[in-house]
Structure 1
Amino acid sequence: MISALRRPAPLRAGARIGVLGVSSPSTLRRLDAGLDTLRFSGFEPVLYDTATVRGTVFDWLAGTDRQRADDLRKALLDRDIDAIFLVSGGYGSQRTLEAFDWSGLEEIEPKFIVGYSDVTGLLEAVAARLGWCGVMGPMVSEHEFAESYSFSSLIRLMKTENLPLTMSFPAANTVTAGRTEGVTCGGNLSLLAGSVGTDTAWIPGDGIWLLEDETESPERIDTMLTHLRRAGYFENAAGVICGTWHDSGDAKVLSQVVPDRLGTLGIPTIEGANIGHGGHVQSYPIGVAATLDAGARTLTLD
């Protein structure tokens, strides 16, 4: 039995979207375009303070840890908020989680939470603590949000009522062929490595792991993949999808790191899927039962 999580109801016209930050400050010059994109799509954005607040403790943090944790909790508890879209990644989600109060959230209905990069920490936490699906997708104040391909991928995923839905990665490469069933998980590699051993890490036994990152290097990616291997993350994994390694050094060396660290797992694996950083990317659900066909380079959400 695949251990899929609770999926929020599909978004409908008029849905109220909580827009806030759990990481770094938003990109203000892009925020209005992102909000207009939501409105044009028939949604009503609701801004929280952390959507626009600047660094107060450190420049790389949107407000204080308490501000970010409080805004997140308010949006989760507000029955009139249908989904939560994060404004930016960067740094800080792990600090937000350290300050967050999870009490009283067990019985509320799941809501879509959308973001990627540093938001991986939050998506993991929601899966581990609340048993909710999430979406690794574009953020409101980043350039991908108003880009038609990336935004269309997000909306298709969040409005779909009847599965299956097949995601195709024709530009990807097959590392290990095969077909496997599991539950989608993972996200940004450095955030996954940074949550090892915490109470918000989520390691499903039958995981189809997404792994991606940016501005790293082949040796750091090698180290982090090895860290997850040694921590047991892939012991019962079903498959692996490597997304983009945007701006992360020599592509030829990277093309050797992935087969070396992941090809030996003996499970269906692809690399080069257009998920992650760099723009023109697809959104990826967390916690959904799925079938990975590594030979065909497709993921079918079941």
Structure 2
Amino acid sequence: MTVRAGARPPRLRPGDRVAVVAPSGPVAPERLDAGLDILRGWDLDPVLAPHVRTGHPELAYLAAPDECRARDLQDAWCDPEVAAVFAARGGYGAQRMVDLLDWAAVRVARPKPLVGFSDVTVVHEAFALRAGVATLHGPAVAGEVFLKDEPTRDQLRRTLFTPEDPAVTTLAPGTARTLVPGRAHGVTFGGCLALLASEAGTPDARRDAAGGLLLLEDVGEQPYAVDRALTQLLRSGTLAGVAGVVLGSWARCGPYDRIRAVLVDRLGGLGVPVVEEFGFGHGDSALTVPLGVPATLDADAGTLTFDVPPLC
């Protein structure tokens, strides 16, 4: 099952209405309000999905019951007046609701930018495999990095409004380092390692990664847990045929030299280029990285260059 490029959504324009949804965990009200103000400062018209602030009556780690979160995401995606969909945060819960979406309705709706990371990895993978849509691995509207880090906000804004900007079509974070040298071409996919590993055996599990450039990052996982997740992907065949690997942040995962040893041990034998410290994920600053778009990875130069802009 070759990793295929997705349909690229249209770019945003000033005045566009955009929806903010909470497909996973509950959202801190003050952070949400601050994130909405930032979107308004971009001359966007953000609207909250109905259940973003409601909470779950019994399971406090969910933003709302599964059916409500699924309905919010589906309605936002299918609304012709909505130009983009932003996740308010990650957390946990996307796996519980993704099968409740009406995928036939999702597929016939006009594609639009879908932005999120962390637990939203599940949504990215589902939209790629079930709807054939390119999405954006980017910061959450109510996330700390989006609220506090100007470079993070600027990169997302450029991606959404001026996707042909060289700073969007070629990602070259100064922190990037070569783990395994070489160049590779493929279609970007991936996200949070723990979520990709936990998707094994589900309808959205990839059987292989042929022709894909895999993005991996995580937060709060000790080295042995990173090893376990990578081993799951290797044993399940998910990494078979992968063209290259792009590694992001490993915040609160223990000393980085220990994490790096695991990454070398588990990924070094793939025989493909691997670049580390690429600046996306749960770090203090976070690049927006398009998913489902063909690109060239140069692990020696520390660059990821897209064949086309991520949005039309």
- Report the TM-score when normalising by structure 2: 0.93
CA distance in 2, matches of 1:269, 1:25: 35
Query: What is aligned with 2:90?
Result: 89
Distance 2:54 2:137 in 1: 23
Give 1:50's aligned residue. Answer: 51
Q: Distance in 2 between matches of 1:299 and 1:161?
A: 15
Post-superposition shift, 1:157?
1.6
Paired position in structure 1 for 2:310: none
In 2, Cα distance between equivalents of 1:2 and 1:96: 24
1:145 match: secondary structure:
helix
Residue type of the partner of 2:18? I
- CA deviation map 1:26-53 (0-9, x unaligned): 1212111100100100111011122212
Partner of 1:138: 139
1:174 aligns with 2:178: yes
- For 1:216-235, list aligned pairs within 5 A: 216-235=221-240
Contact kept, 8 Å, 2:170 with 2:304, in 1: the verdict is yes
In 2, the alpha carbon distance for the partners of 1:226 and 1:241 equals 17
Deviation at residue 163 of structure 1 after TM alignment: 7.2
1:240 aligns with 2:242: no
Match of 1:294?
299
Which of 163, 184, 190 is matched with 1:186 structurally? 190
Cα distance in 2, alignment partners of residues 205 and 43 from structure 1: 38
CA contact (8 A) 2:52 2:64 kept: no
Aligned ranges for residues 1-302 of structure 1 at < 5 Å?
A: 3-146=4-147, 147-162=149-164, 165-202=169-206, 204-302=209-307
Bigger shift: residues 197-206 or 143-152: 197-206
Superposed displacement of residue 117, structure 1: 0.4
Q: Percent identity?
A: 41
Alpha-carbon deviations, 1:159-197, whole Å to 9, x = none? 234376100022122111111110000000011011112
Asked if the contact 1:3/1:204 (under 8 Å) is kept, the reply is no
RMSD: 1.5
Give the deviation of 1:250 after TM superposition. Answer: 2.4
**What is the DSSP-based 3-state SS (H/G/I as helix, E as strand, rest coil) of the residue aligned with 2:144?**
coil
One-letter code aligned to 2:293: V
Q: Distance in 2 between matches of 1:131 and 1:197?
A: 20
Q: 1:161 to 1:276 in 2, by over 3 A?
A: closer
| Aligned AA (1:292) | L
Residue 58 of structure 1 aligns to which amino acid in structure 2?
L
How far does the alpha carbon of each residue in 1:57-93 deviate from its partner, in whole angstroms, 9 at most, with x for none?
3110011001001111111111001110010100000
SS in 2 for 1:104: helix
* CA distance in structure 2 between the aligned counterparts of 1:61 and 1:83, rounded to whole angstroms: 23
Preserved CA contact (<8 Å) 1:20 1:87 = yes
How far the C-alpha of 1:204 sits from its partner, in A, is 4.5
- CA–CA distance in 1 between the matches of 2:8 and 2:247? 24
The residue type paired with residue 262 of structure 2 is: V
Q: Which runs of 5+ in 2 are unaligned?
A: 308-312
C-alpha distance in structure 2 between counterparts of 1:193 and 1:129, whole Å: 18
Counterparts of 1:161 and 1:210, CA distance in 2: 20
Corresponding residue SS for 2:103: coil
CA offsets per residue over residues 103-145 of structure 1, 9 Å max, x none?
A: 3222221111111000100011000110001111111111122
Deviating beyond 6 angstroms after TM superposition, the runs of 4 or more aligned structure 1 residues are none
TM-score, reference length from structure 1: 0.96
Q: Does the aligned pair in 2 maintain the 1:150–1:283 contact within 8 Å?
A: yes
Q: Using the TM superposition, name which of 47-56 and 150-159 deviates more.
A: 47-56
Unaligned stretches of 5+ in structure 1?
none
Letter in 1 for 2:266: R
